[in-house]
Amino acid sequence: MLRSKVIPQVLQQAINGNDVKGVLLMKDDGSLIACAEAPNTDHSTSKIVSAISSSIFSSYERNDDLQYQLIDCEDGRLVVTKVAKLLLCIYADTSIEFGFLKIKAQKLREYLEGPLEQVEQV
């Protein structure tokens, strides 16, 4: 069973050190379901990142075949992936490698996929 209070704690586990700034779980339209941020991160950043990343992911997704989207920006790097019918986004500094971000996203996706699919069926 999935508890709503536990989701931010699960997302928080992907934040370690100073590299990862935040982890977001959101709908396709960019509205946040849950988020976890590094201690020194501005709280408005999550809303901005969720809106932009969901828009980019949705514009490139065709026939549900897009697994991961890696985005390199001036201020950081993002990885976006589908988890059930939701989007998972991890954003970090430019110092972190894309492979590391993708592995974090993959592990979180595997962990959350089953419980989130059960929620959708209800």
> How confident is the model at residue 23, as a pLDDT?
93
Exposed / middle / buried, residue 60 (Cβ in 10 Å: 0-12, 13-18, 19+) = exposed
In a domain, 109, yes or no: yes
Q: Is residue 34 part of a domain?
A: yes
- pLDDT reported for residue 103: 93
| pLDDT the model gives residue 85 | 87
| Predicted local distance difference test score (pLDDT) of residue 5 | 76
In a domain, 1, yes or no: no
- Amino acid at position 47, single letter: K
The CA distance from 91 to 104, in Å, is: 11
pLDDT by 10-residue block (mean), the chain, 122 residues? 74 82 92 88 84 90 84 92 92 92 92 80 44
Domain-located, residue 40: yes
Q: Is this structure's pTM higher than 0.85? A: yes
How many domains does the chain fold into?
1
Task: Kindly state whether residue 67 falls inside one of the protein's structural domains.
Answer: yes
For residue 112, the enclosing domain spans 6-121
Residue 95 domain-assigned (yes or no)? yes
In CATH, what number is assigned to the domain containing residue 108?
3.30.450.30
| Cα–Cα distance for residue pair 122/105, rounded to 1 Å | 25
